[in-house]
Amino acid sequence: MTSTRFILTTLFLAAASLIFVHFNLHRFDGRIITNLSDIDTSEWARPRVAVVFGASVFSNGELSPVLEDRVDTAIKLYQAKKVDRILVSGDNRHPSYNEPRAMQEYLISHAIASKDVIVDNSGRSTYETCLRAKEVFGLKRVVLVSQSYHLSRALYIANELGLDAVGMAGDLRVEPQIDYQNFREWAAEIKAFMNIHLISPNADIRDRSPIR
């Protein structure tokens, strides 16, 4: 009986912790914008920057559907003059795999001025991308670009790190694995909460290069 009570208590506390973390991370959901016309950056200090989070790139260099939707959303922001620069951040730790370069090439091929595309080669996690946006690139206000399921966590991390961030949802198509992504986000939310409040993982912030 004692062991059963202990197991039930443990399960209850674990479930309560998960619920607490989940609702705490979703405090910034009101900053997720789904319609381009609803985002107002007219009074922001220049340059106004969109931060695009990396995702999978195919072996031939093409963007995965998830990443293509994010970059296409950033293009719409730029073309609508909501932002002046686009910061592409992702993983390039292997010579044959480079998310930021693939995003950069895609943007330039879609008539985005090369001088307005900023590359962050060390954004290997949502936490690192947000921290480097603030510490390396000197940003204070940003538009984060990703899918809605990811933006809750990204906005939580960014705002907790001291950025004044809003999110532009790049939900341009229905993802076939959306249930998997939502399940994965629960685990990622726990990691994000721990990174902010317990761990504060190291990130490379030596190469300071403020965006002007």
**Is 206 part of any domain?**
no
Decide if 71 is inside a domain. Answer: yes
Each residue's pLDDT tens digit, 94-107: 888 999 999 999 99
- pLDDT bracket for residue 199 (50, 70, 90): confident
Could you tell me the pLDDT band of residue 208, with boundaries at 50, 70 and 90? confident
Parent domain of 174: 2-199
Q: How far apart are CA 18 and CA 189, in angstroms?
A: 9
Distance CA 149, CA 162 (A): 22
Chain-wide mean pLDDT for the chain?
87
Per-residue confidence (pLDDT) for residue 172, from 0 to 100: 86
Residue 168: per-residue pLDDT: 98
CA separation for the pair 133, 87 (Å, rounded): 8
Within a domain: residue 11?
yes
Q: Is the model's pLDDT at 74 over the cut of 90?
A: yes
Question: Do the domain assignments include residue 204?
Answer: no
Count of the separate structural domains present in the chain = 1
CATH number for the domain that contains residue 160:
3.40.50
Average of per-residue pLDDT across 29-45: 94
Q: Between helices 178-194 and 2-25, what is the axis angle to 10°?
A: 90
**What CA–CA distance (Å, rounded) separates 45 from 10?**
49
* Of residues 12 and 170, more confidently modeled: 170
- What confidence score (pLDDT) does residue 96 get? 84
Asked whether residue 123 is assigned to any structural domain, the reply reads yes
User: What is this structure's pTM?
Assistant: 0.86
| Residue 209 falls inside a structural domain | no
Q: Mean pLDDT across the stretch 147-168?
A: 95
**Structure confidence at residue 7 (pLDDT):** 67
The pLDDT value given to residue 190: 76
Angle CA 40–50–27, to nearest 5: 70
